[in-house]
Each structure stands twice: as structure tokens, then as C-alpha cells.
Amino acid sequence: MLSELANAALSGLAEQGMLAVGVLQEGSIAWAGWALLLMFGLETQAAAGRHFLSLVAAEDREGVARPLDEGFNAGNASISFRGLRADGTPFDGELAGVALDLPGGGAGVAVAVRDVTEQRRAQARLSYFALRDPLTDLPNRGLFFDRLGQALVAARRNGGKFAVLVGDLDGFKEINDRYGHEPGDALLQAVAKRLRAAVRERDTVARIGGDEFSALLTRASSAEDASVVATRMVHALDAPVIIAGRPCQVGISIGIARYPVNGKDM
């Protein structure tokens, strides 16, 4: 269908891994480069005549169908979609295209597909760690204040109540000074797990400083509710933490502030 020269050029680019390209006619694959076949796990014969939308996850087909129908002539930039390999394995893809006149008459679309799965995973990891304390994996100060801001907006809108607990460890500095930073870091990690287990699933526990932790209790409607959770956090550290065979005992002092009783802004 393509001229021999165009076919050779596109195949050469695909084989070099530069493009995963194909040509569609009425939405079906009329020609597919080597890289496109490899990306979708297709044999040449299986690809020929296959509708491109069958390689797109069901929830993304409508968004892909429109630019394909329009021949990417309505200012469509590359679009993101969830692709499906022949064995059903999904991947994150980006699709770009351009309309073209096919030899012998008829309209077609030349498409180029990129597999951006690893790129998206890397971006997700970066986004995750930007909002997490790298030592304890708890939300960091930035994420805590973001969630606190959201809680304030929701409470103002709905007349709700919530509580913030702020605490710092008792005895941590002495242990850190005596045994060094590595055991101190291990102790903070163990403390973080215990504090997280002491609150409810919907609550947020964050590390906001060296040995400072905060909890956002979005459903604490009374002083008693907040006090119960704070007491559980205190008792979570009753038992010593064993670090490198040594029992390390720390406590936590916690203050409680409630919205709107004790304040109406961050």
C-alpha cells in the first residue's frame, strides 16, 4: 500500500527503535512497523486488518477513537491511553498521528506510539517521595499541611470538626547521642510504625521534624475522641523498642488542638 521507499524508510526507523509506527485505514491496521508489532506483541499476520481500538483499554477507547476519526486534524496533540498487548498485559502509551492520502485513493492515518510505562512509574515514584519522609515513609510536613488545609476547607463548608495532635519524643536525644545516628534512625522507623498503627485508617500521621510527629484526626468531633487517640499513641510506646539487641525506651508528649474550638486557621 505504501510506496517501497516510504515502507523502507518507516521500517528502518522502527527497527532502530526510533518509532513505533503504523498506518490505519478506517481504524484498522493496514501496515505496522517492527517496533509497533513488538510493542503490542503481535505477529504481522495477526496485526493486518486488526482494529486499532482493540489494542486500547476499554475505558480509553472513546478518547482514542475521536482523534483517529478526525485524522488528528483538529489540533490533537499526542494523547495518553492505556494500551493492551496481545496477551492482555496493559501498558501506558502515548499516541500521535497525522492524516494522509493512501496510494490508490482513500484516507488513512499514520500513527506513532510510545510506551511510557517506565517514565510514568518513575514520575509516580518521584511524586510519592516528594510528599513522604524518606526515613519513616510517613507523610512529610508538606503533605501534612496540605491535608490540614483540605480538612479546614471541608470543615468550614460542612460545619465539621476535627483535631490535630502534635507530639515530640521523650528520651530520643539521649539515645541518639549515646548510640549514634544509625540506631537513632532505626528507632524513629519503629516509632513511626507504632504511631501509625495507633490511629484509624482514615487519619494521617506525619513526621514533621526530627523527633516530632503530628496526627490529623478528621473525624474527631469531641475532646474525648481526640484524647482516646492521643492516649493510644502514648501507650504505643510503652514497650521498649529493641535496636541492635538493645532495649531503647522513649515516650511521647502530645498536645491537642481542635477545630473550631482552639483555632480557625492553620
Residues involved in catalysis = 211
Q: What are φ and ψ of residue 209, in 5° steps?
A: -165, -165
Query: What's the residue count for the chain?
Result: 266
CA geometry: angle at 151 spanning 147 and 152, to 5°? 120
* Nearest by Cα to 264 from 144, 168, 139, 164: 164
Q: How far apart are CA 247 and CA 83, in angstroms?
A: 52
Task: Evaluate the CA torsion angle 32, 34, 40, 46 in order and state its sign.
Answer: positive
Pairing of strands 241-243, 21-25: unpaired
DSSP, res 211: S
Q: How far is CA 17 from CA 6, 31, 226, in A?
A: 17, 17, 58
Closest CA to 144 of 11, 266, 8, 255: 266
State how far the Cα of 189 lies from the Cα of 158, in Å rounded to an integer. 36
Residue 224, helix vs strand vs coil: helix
DSSP bridge pairs for 112: 21, 96
Say whether 66 sits in a helix, a strand or coil.
Answer: helix
Q: What are phi and psi of 207, to 5 degrees?
A: -100, 115
